[in-house]
Copies of this chain bind each other. A is one copy, B any other.
Amino acid sequence: MNEMLLYLIPGSGIVALLFVYIKNNWVASKEIGSDKMERIAKNISDGAMAFLRAEYKILSVFVLITAILLGFKGESEGTSYLVAVSFIVGALCSGLAGFIGMKVATKANVRTTNAAQESLGKALEIAFSGGAVMGLGVVGLGVLGLGSLFLIYSNIFQDIDTVIKVISGFSLGASSIALFARVGGGIYTKAADVGADLVGKVEAGIPEDHPLNPATIADNVGDNVGDVAGMGADLFESFVGSIIGAMVLGAAFIGLQEFSGIETNAILLPLFIASTGIIMSIIGTLFVRVKEGGSPHAALNAGEFSSAGLMMVATYFLIDYFLPDAWILNGKEYTSLGVFAATIAGLLAGLGVGKITEYYTATGKAPVKSIVKQSDTGAATTIISGLGVGMMSTAIPILLICAAVLISHYYAGLYGIAIAAVGMLANTGIQLAVDAYGPISDNAGGIAEMADLPPKVRERTDKLDAVGNTTAAIGKGFAIASAALTALALFAAYMQTAQIDAIDISDPIVMSGLLLGAMLPFVFSALSMNAVGKAAMSMIEEVRRQFRELPKLKAALEIMRKHNSDLSKASKTDMKIFNEADGVAEYSKCVEISTKAALREMVVPGLMAISVPVIIGLFSKYMLGGLLAGVTSSGVLMAIFQSNAGGAWDNAKKMIEEAGQKGTEAHKAAVVGDTVGDPFKDTSGPSLNILLKLISVVALVIAPLII
């Protein structure tokens, strides 16, 4: 291979960032709309940035301390300080990706609202462009960071093992930030959501997103910090983790470890697949267009499928170019075609898990219908059936993941598992664009409501939002399947680095590690759910305080109550009093409370996730192996269970609302289900994806220390 080709890797990252720059400016150039819309949007944007600033302040302390510890950890090797450098770069890239995504999302939301006054197509274009900025920002920074570090380190060190060992710090930086962002963002968004709903909707009878509700801005900020920044950091981590896992395993795969000639190609292949994925994602975004009356769903699918199809073809040629046609390793023959088969197995498994996720959570399908039926007999049966649906939904995804593991391993060894994950995540750019488009549309709808725009606008943004929910299900499936494969790849990479040949599960030390590992997702989920509960409580108290102490707000609420939440027949005097309360609520207080609570509550679970593998690893590297296996198996299951139960409850409520049964006993029961599902699907569930990868990465990074 021509060594100059290596420069293509950071090069593609720069292309992605150029795309981000141009698209971002394009979004910014669009009209904001009325003063009121601008004011609302500014409130949201300020709140989001305030959260990010406060979060990053805490995280920078954490990053600094960890970097120092990493620098000290194995001074004898003389490479530790570079691990610390990689760690800092990884953390910075992850943080920057979150910042870019949040910045553009809080610009795109109000502009989407404004465009929706004109047409569905224009609104889609802006919302999707916002998502694309986020998506390409994530993959661009990932590839640029990793590629540059690789170039630099391979000039410093002669042997590839050291290069890879040093570069794995990048993944640790990305994972750490991801965990805090996901957990913090998840707590923030659900505390605000539950607070806004329970006091605003239930107690005071104000509609969702109404300006009288002091928590409504915090709720919209939450969509950004949880669903945009949190998800961005999450996928940044998956993307980077799978690449690094494959690089580590690639070193052993061809069977030669010299740093020259084609032997390193198995190591470079994941980087090139990722680079190519950037280009294909950019091409894919060009296909996302819709005319008025057309289907946004079809438009998004066109983008995703064209990008995925192109990527499959490109992967074939990349593998063909980088790997020999056939070679023998440990007495078994491997072929480049086999490696390609592994990526296909991964891709199909991801798609399959996505489809199953959709089946278990979509309105109109049997599982959600069964919850709707049980809601007739009250909240208890709604909860029981939802828990049942969530637990049952683990079966087929696990079978698919196992099939992908067995097939990719059969064709390409442990490297096959890792490269399958890379193949699944190569399209992260456009996948994330589609994911992030959802909360942007959601926010746009909120702004339309708060700014009192005509119903047609809200209808259009709702249409965009609904499509986002379906496509997000597929994305979720990919996220879970790839997390499982990535964790397994990192597990294998850990064993290789820690020089472990086999981890015997019948060894009581390993078995204890397994039990401890399996426990972590339960405790972690409990911590994050309790955190949501506590944070929501503070929010509820604040909203109640404002309702009690702000005279204009109090007066407006009384008028709402007098007319039973329907002001169509209210007198002029009443309307005057009512309108005077507009904008009186102290939104920023609620934002502050959510911010503080989220940051306070994210610390314990975050530190636990990082410290437990270190402690166990120092005790025994075999026990740590058991821990990884336990946390992976139980984490994947708990993630699927919680995400799908939450999604199913959400849509059961929507089905009942669509049937015009709002306000019935069945609807009340479904609202309980939805509220229980909120922290399941938006806080603890998605955090587990990161937890299991983070613990594996920590193990990988400390592996040289515990040989």
Residues of A within 8 A of B (CB): 194, 198, 202, 374, 377-381, 383-385, 387-392, 394-395, 398-399, 401-402, 405-406, 409, 414, 417, 484, 488, 491-492, 495, 500, 502-512, 514-519, 522-523, 525-527, 529-530, 532-533, 536-537, 540, 625-626, 629-630, 633-634, 636-637, 641, 671-672, 675-676, 679
Is A378's CB under 8 angstroms from B504's CB?
no
Is B384's CB under 8 angstroms from A532's CB?
yes
Consensus secondary structure, chain A interface:
helix
With A508-B417, A511-B488 as given contacts, are A388 and B519 in contact (CB-CB < 8 Å)?
A: no
In Å, the complex CA distance between A398 and B503 comes to: 21
In the complex, which of the residues B514, B525, B540 contacts A391, with contact meaning CB atoms closer than 8 Å? B525
With A377-B540, A384-B529 as given contacts, are A519 and B395 in contact (CB-CB < 8 Å)?
A: yes
Closest chain B residue, CB of each to CB of A389: B526
A530 partner residues in chain B, CB cutoff 8 A: 385, 388, 392
A484 partner residues in chain B, CB cutoff 8 A: 515
Task: Knowing that A194-B381, A630-B633 touch, tell me 9 more A-B residue pairs with CB under 8 angstroms.
Answer: A379-B379, A381-B533, A383-B672, A392-B527, A395-B519, A414-B508, A514-B629, A633-B633, A634-B637
A392 partner residues in chain B, CB cutoff 8 A: 522-523, 526-527, 530
In the complex, which of the residues B198, B503, B526 contacts A388, with contact meaning CB atoms closer than 8 Å? B526
Is A508's CB under 8 angstroms from B630's CB?
no
In the complex, which of the residues B519, B522, B629 contacts A511, with contact meaning CB atoms closer than 8 Å? B629
Is B519's CB under 8 angstroms from A394's CB?
yes
Is A508's CB under 8 angstroms from B405's CB?
yes
Closest chain B residue, CB of each to CB of A416: B508
In Å, the complex CA distance between A634 and B387 comes to: 16
A384 partner residues in chain B, CB cutoff 8 A: 529, 532-533, 675-676, 679
In Å, the complex CA distance between A637 and B202 comes to: 36
Q: How far is the CB of A552 from chain B (nearest CB, A)?
A: 26
In Å, the complex CA distance between A51 and B392 comes to: 28
Number of copies: 2
In Å, the complex CA distance between A502 and B385 comes to: 41
A518 partner residues in chain B, CB cutoff 8 A: 398, 518, 633-634, 637
A522 partner residues in chain B, CB cutoff 8 A: 391-392, 394-395, 637, 641
Q: How far is the CB of A642 from chain B (nearest CB, A)?
A: 10
In Å, the complex CA distance between A378 and B198 comes to: 9
Is A391's CB under 8 angstroms from B672's CB?
no
In Å, the complex CA distance between A202 and B381 comes to: 14
In Å, the complex CA distance between A679 and B377 comes to: 16
Q: How far is the CB of A387 from chain B (nearest CB, A)?
A: 7
In Å, the complex CA distance between A505 and B398 comes to: 17
Q: How far is the CB of A183 from chain B (nearest CB, A)?
A: 15
Is A506's CB under 8 angstroms from B492's CB?
yes
In Å, the complex CA distance between A512 and B636 comes to: 13
With A379-B379, A503-B505 as given contacts, are A405 and B533 in contact (CB-CB < 8 Å)?
A: no
Q: How far is the CB of A399 from chain B (nearest CB, A)?
A: 8
In Å, the complex CA distance between A679 and B381 comes to: 11
In Å, the complex CA distance between A408 and B414 comes to: 35
Is A402's CB under 8 angstroms from B516's CB?
yes
Q: How far is the CB of A305 from chain B (nearest CB, A)?
A: 29
In the complex, which of the residues B194, B395, B512, B517 contacts A406, with contact meaning CB atoms closer than 8 Å? B512
Is A676's CB under 8 angstroms from B506's CB?
no
Is B675's CB under 8 angstroms from A374's CB?
no
Is B506's CB under 8 angstroms from A491's CB?
yes
A637 partner residues in chain B, CB cutoff 8 A: 518-519, 522, 634
In the complex, which of the residues B202, B519, B625, B641 contacts A505, with contact meaning CB atoms closer than 8 Å? B625
Closest chain B residue, CB of each to CB of A668: B379
A509 partner residues in chain B, CB cutoff 8 A: 406
Q: How far is the CB of A596 from chain B (nearest CB, A)?
A: 20
In Å, the complex CA distance between A378 and B387 comes to: 19
Closest chain B residue, CB of each to CB of A628: B505
Is B523's CB under 8 angstroms from A405's CB?
no
Q: How far is the CB of A680 from chain B (nearest CB, A)?
A: 8
In Å, the complex CA distance between A235 and B443 comes to: 55
Q: How far is the CB of A357 from chain B (nearest CB, A)?
A: 15
In Å, the complex CA distance between A202 and B377 comes to: 10
Is A676's CB under 8 angstroms from B505's CB?
no
A625 partner residues in chain B, CB cutoff 8 A: 505-506
In Å, the complex CA distance between A530 and B385 comes to: 7
